Amino acid sequence: MSELNGKCVIITGASRGIGAAAAEVFAAAGANVVLLARGEEAIADLAGKIGSQALAVPCDVTRYWEVAAAVEAARNTFGRVDVLINNAGVIEPVSHLATSDPDGWGQAIDINLKGVYHGIRAVLPVMLEAGGGTILGVSSGAAHGPTEGWSHYNASKAGAAMLTRCIHHEYGDKGIRAIGLSPGTVATQMQKEIKASGINRVSRLDWSAHIPAEWPARALHWMCSAEADGFLGDEISLRDEDIRQKIGLS
């Protein structure tokens, strides 16, 4: 999409998996990409691979001031912020509720839900001042139904999905596009952690059942186009064959 040329895209959790794949897809489309993650070396290496279109900003999304500083760094470097991809997320610690670790459970909420809010809160004033922008969330089927051992993940993803709806409700008529993406199971480090847990049916899936990270990355790219406007305030699922065909994944 030529309309992405020169645009600025901030991606959280950009050190690996979907985030890293999205960085490459958006950069190939002509966008400038700002890579946020705690893994400083990994995002520095990825930014070096992409070149002058990329800026690596070490950032812990659980700390609002770090996210706000990263947004300011994006503006200072590229002069604008057009797209935010809230991708950072964790699945650990997988555990049944009765034996769950309160600190670990809370940390997952801090990353998966509060981290999403921090990104939204930091970019919205910038986007509203500019007259519009796109905020994309990496959602999950776990947002819509319980999964054994994943109470932290279910709760945080459900909350993040509601934030997408809240953005649309409050700012959809002010030029802010908000959409969620439920990618299904993706061949990333998170799936290795799920498999190692041995809890629930997802951990027992064969590795061949998982889609490559490039697929959700390409979906996020498509979601920035007017073709996806019918899903504003909602989310799309890559389990939907019609959606895959629209994106060109079938």
**At a CB cut-off of 8 Å and minimum separation 6, what does 57 contact?**
34, 35, 36, 43, 69, 70, 73, 74
Asked if residue 43 lies in contact with residue 59, where contact means CB atoms within 8 angstroms, the answer is: no
C-alpha span between 92 and 185 (Å, rounded): 16
Q: Is 64 a catalytic residue?
A: no
C-alpha span between 26 and 63 (Å, rounded): 26
Phi-psi region of 175 (alpha: psi -120 to 50; beta: other; left: phi over 0): left
Q: What are phi and psi of 10, to 5 degrees?
A: -95, 130
Catalytic: which of 64, 117, 153, 171?
153
Instruction: Please provide the DSSP assignment of 107-140 as one string.
Output: HHHIIIIIHHHHHHHHHHHHHHHHT-EEEEEE--
**Residue in the structure block whose two tokens are 């490559």:** 212
Q: Which residues are catalytic?
A: 153
